[in-house]
Amino acid sequence: MAAKKAAKKSAIKSAKPTQKIVDRSAEILKRLKVLYPVAICELTHENPFQLLAATILSAQCTDARVNMVTPGLFAEFPTAEKLAVADIARVEELVRSTGFYQSKAKNLIGMASAVVNRFDGVVPHEMEDLVTLPGVGRKTANVLRSVVFDLPGLAVDTHVGRLSRRLGLTKEEDPVKVEYELNKLFPPEDWGGFSLRLILHGRRVCDAKKPACHLCELHDICPFVSKR
């Protein structure tokens, strides 16, 4: 069973995109850069620790809600050292409105403890280190790498997954598989910017239930439009 999974994963990594998809992806990136000249992360933060905590809180929650919660959280626990020894009940109270507050509070304290005990209080930047932190998967790790460390990282959230499929860049549903396929289409220096711009486009134009195709600057090269 393990061998089959490994073979399948290898096949996904090695498969080459068609020239049509390569050309479309280049045009999509070009247009997104015009539409969104500045690729911004909408989670308010001042340092890697704050962005890491905010991204953990953003699971199944809007960035707007997280940005309402984090000022109070960081006022009481401004560093990993402070959060690592926090009373979990207090953290739960502070992050309750983001949903799944019990697991998020546990992950926040666990993340802070790991940063302090295993990384001397400094948030790591390597993927293999980041994903060992409680509450941190590849999406969160890629956000950190691309936004605060200026390293290659293509975060696949629900917006990136949805738009990538609608735009015909992938058929995959699993976020990690989507990430691997998108990585083949863009140079590493554009991974983070592409992800952030696609998220912005998903929030402002390509809604999950009511996409504004008539307003979309990508409508003429989007396979999804022709299917509606």
Buried b (16+ CB within 10 A) or exposed e, 75-93: eebeebeebbebeeeebbe
Task: Determine whether 28 is exposed, middle or buried from the number of CB atoms within 10 Å of its CB (0-12, 13-18, 19+).
Answer: buried
Catalytic residue among 139, 184, 210, 220: 139
Cβ–Cβ under 8 Å, residues 183 and 40: no
Sign of CA dihedral 97, 103, 107, 110: positive
Catalytic residue among 8, 87, 157, 190: 157
Whether 87 is a known active-site residue: answer: no
Whether 157 is a known active-site residue: answer: yes
Measured between alpha carbons, how far is 8 from 172 in angstroms, rounded to an integer?
Answer: 13
Catalytic residues: 139, 157
